[in-house]
Amino acid sequence: MTARFTVLASGSSGNAALLEHNGFGLLIDCGLHPRFLTARLQSVGANWDRVSAVVLTHTHTDHWKDGTLADLNARKIPFYAHPKHFDFLDPRSANVGHLNRNGLAREYGDAPFELAPGLVCRPIRVSHDSVPTYGFRVEAHDGGTGPAWVVGYASDLGCGSSELIDAFAGADVLALEYNHDVMMERASPRPRFLVDRVLGDMGHLSNTQAAELTSTIAGRSGDGFPGALIQLHLSRDCNTPELAAVAGREALVALNPATEVITATQDFATKSISLSRRANSANRAVARVKQQKRRVVQPSLPGFDEPLW
């Protein structure tokens, strides 16, 4: 069972990621205008014919575009969102009504749901100032012991939680926000109220918080997990890819130094990560049992680089 995961865009101007599995293509968020999203798909050897569904993390406008919702309706692609997301979107987009009338608007809640045979998505609520905001644990099942592979994805969150750590422990790919450097944030010319928000717990993770969260998840995961760390949603003004990458590598060096660290950008897709059942995939369950009594270290200092609505 081979699949692949690719971040198509990540940042405050638009977010989208593609997970492909047995002919089923899942877009996590659709925050690019249709022609840009089409180009990103083409850049990784994909196209709209390979997109089977879209799932929305939250309603900030860098995670959905009205024109893209119109495209989904025209292409008859189901759109998954929380009921409160639909409540927010419905008066702001006629295309949500079109999706609903055509049976393409699908609701999810806090329970895991099956996207396709053997492909399960578990929503995890996270702390962010668009309520509700979700991260996702997506896992594939092939009849073997435990999941064949796991992707953990959380692009916008102000702090970690025990639920998120538990859900992402044992992920083959950990896609996690590394939004800002705290010193750059404090020294930025942003208005004080915005800086205050970045230092609250409803904004975005700093490199330091994200590194702590990464380390905690890796410590709960066993040898070789995660196989790849993808750093999401870097601030253009208050972070650099170099600072984020150093923080990510330092978080993993004592636990899983072979983990590949990939820093996603706004302007082009990341390399694709292949996913298949790994020989040591059973380590997930073993490691989680062994780590039950370990103290969970949670990040507490968030960051923020979002629109203010």
The 10s digit of each residue's pLDDT in 184-198 is 999 999 998 888 887
Query: 198 or 205: whose pLDDT is higher?
Result: 205
Residue type at 20 in one-letter notation: E
Give percent above pLDDT 70 in the chain: 90
- Helix 207-219 with 241-252: angle, nearest 10 deg: 30
pLDDT in tens, 222-242: 999 999 999 999 999 999 999
What does the mean pLDDT of the chain come to? 91
215: pLDDT strictly greater than 90: yes
297 has pLDDT over 50: no
Q: How far apart are CA 24 and CA 15, in angstroms?
A: 20
Class of the CATH domain delimited by 3-303: alpha beta
Q: For position 284, what pLDDT does the model report?
A: 59
pLDDT band with cut points at 50, 70 and 90 for residue 8: very high
Per residue, the 3-state secondary structure of the chain, as one string, reads CCEEEEEEECCCCCCEEEEEECCEEEEECECCCHHHHHHHHHHCCCCHHHCCEEECCCCCCCCECHHHHHHHHHHCCCEEECHHHHHHHHHHCHHHHHHHHCCCEEECCCCCEEEECCEEEEEEEECCCCCCEEEEEEEECCCCCCCCEEEEEECCCCCCCHHHHHHHCCCCEEEEECCECHHHHHHCCCCHHHHHHHCCCCCEEEHHHHHHHHHHHHHCCCCCCCCEEEEECCCCCCCCHHHHHHHHHHHHCCCCCCCEEEECCCCCCCCCEEECCCCCCCHHHHHHHHCCCCCCCCCCCEECCCCCC
Beta strand 119-126 pairing with 228-232: unpaired
**Angle at 214 (CA atoms; ends 253, 117), nearest 5 degrees:** 120
Q: What is the pLDDT of residue 170?
A: 96
The answer to whether residue 267 scores a pLDDT higher than 50 is yes
Q: Determine how β-strand 260-263 pairs with β-strand 149-154.
A: unpaired
pLDDT score, position 308: 35
Per-residue pLDDT at 196: 81
Between CA 61 and CA 12 the distance in angstroms is: 9
pLDDT of residue 281: 61
- Report, as an integer, the average pLDDT of 102-114: 98
- If one counts every other C-beta atom within 10 angstroms of the C-beta of residue 254, the result is 10
Longest dimension (CA), the chain: 54
Q: Would you state the pLDDT for residue 2?
A: 78
Q: Which amino acid appears at position 122 of this protein?
A: R
Asked whether the whole model's pTM tops 0.85, one would answer yes
Select from 287, 306, 115 the least CA-distant residue to 200. Answer: 306
> Encoding tokens for residue 80?
């998954």
> Residue 119 pairs with which residues in a beta bridge?
116, 140
Q: Is the pLDDT of residue 120 over 60?
A: yes
Q: What is the pLDDT of residue 303?
A: 39
Question: Which of 51-60, 87-96, 298-307 is the least confident region?
Answer: 298-307
Residue 121 clears pLDDT 80, i.e. is over it: yes
Per-residue confidence (pLDDT) for residue 283, from 0 to 100:
56
Q: What is the pLDDT at residue 195? A: 83
pLDDT score of 1: 57
Q: Whole-angstrom Cα distance, residue 304 to residue 144?
A: 41
Residue 161 has pLDDT above 80, yes or no: yes
What average pLDDT does this structure show over 17-27? 97
The answer to whether the beta carbons of residues 132 and 125 sit under 8 Å apart is: yes
**What's the mean pLDDT in 57-68?**
98
Q: Between residues 308 and 109, which one has the greater pLDDT?
A: 109
Task: Assess whether pLDDT exceeds 60 at residue 300.
Answer: no
pLDDT over 50 at 102, yes or no: yes
User: Which one is predicted more confidently, 255 or 288?
Assistant: 255
